[in-house]
Amino acid sequence: MQTINLAGFNDTKTNFTETFNLQQFDYHLGTLTAINISYSAEVTGQLLLSNSKSVAKNVNMQLNSAMQLSLPGEVLGSDARNLLSGSVVSAAKSTDVLVGKHSETLIVNVNVADSDFAKFIGAGALESQLQITATSGANSPTGITADYSTLVHSLGGKITYTYIPASVPEPETYGMMLLGLGVLAYAGKRKARAAQV
């Protein structure tokens, strides 16, 4: 088994696409039997409300986050989580009041199909993309300002190649091969002498 850690970073705002290279499997190591790619990210979302009116108002809130891992033209896997939802009251004449904050872990775990192994075998790298987005919504009655924010923490991943190691010939095998080549060379030389006579 060969495990390769993939690009990761901390404390980044959502709504980004990161392009990175997946190291391909070196076929000299053996016969590939499985490929697993996994990525995880903790995403925290929060909502600040401001109310310019002199009366409290109900606000329905919604905040979701999603992560997608893809190769050019092909989505490998995705995950989506709800960070905030429900109804909250925005106090009269308030500014930037934190009314909701929650964290979830997004996980993309892909077992690559045998039919796609060829893409992952070679001496180079395979370009891939990781995208993390957030979508929000709030009914905003007159005088209400909703400020959503989402932050990615502890983003990281790995690709694991499982394989049957290539067999290495024993010294006796090399000895038998050399002996066989010697016998062939001797037979060829004898045949060449017989043809001269």
Tokens 């959503």, residue located: 148
- pLDDT tens across 175-189, in order? 888 888 888 888 888
Closest to 130 measured CA to CA, from 79, 57, 83: 79
- pLDDT tens across 125-162, in order? 999 999 999 998 877 788 999 899 999 988 889 999 99
Reported confidence tier of residue 197, pLDDT bands at 50, 70, 90: low
Tokens 């391909």, residue located: 24
Task: Tell me which H or E stretch contains 36.
Answer: strand 30-51
Tokens 């390769």, residue located: 4
Tokens 């106090």, residue located: 91
- pLDDT tens across 38-72, in order? 999 999 999 999 999 999 999 998 999 999 999 98
- pLDDT tens across 154-177, in order? 888 999 999 999 887 677 777 888
Tokens of 52: 């310019």
Cβ atoms of residues 162 and 44 within 8 Å: no
Question: Whole-structure pTM over 0.85, yes or no?
Answer: no
Residues 6+ apart with CB under 8 A from 79: 66, 67, 106, 107, 108
pLDDT of residue 132: 92
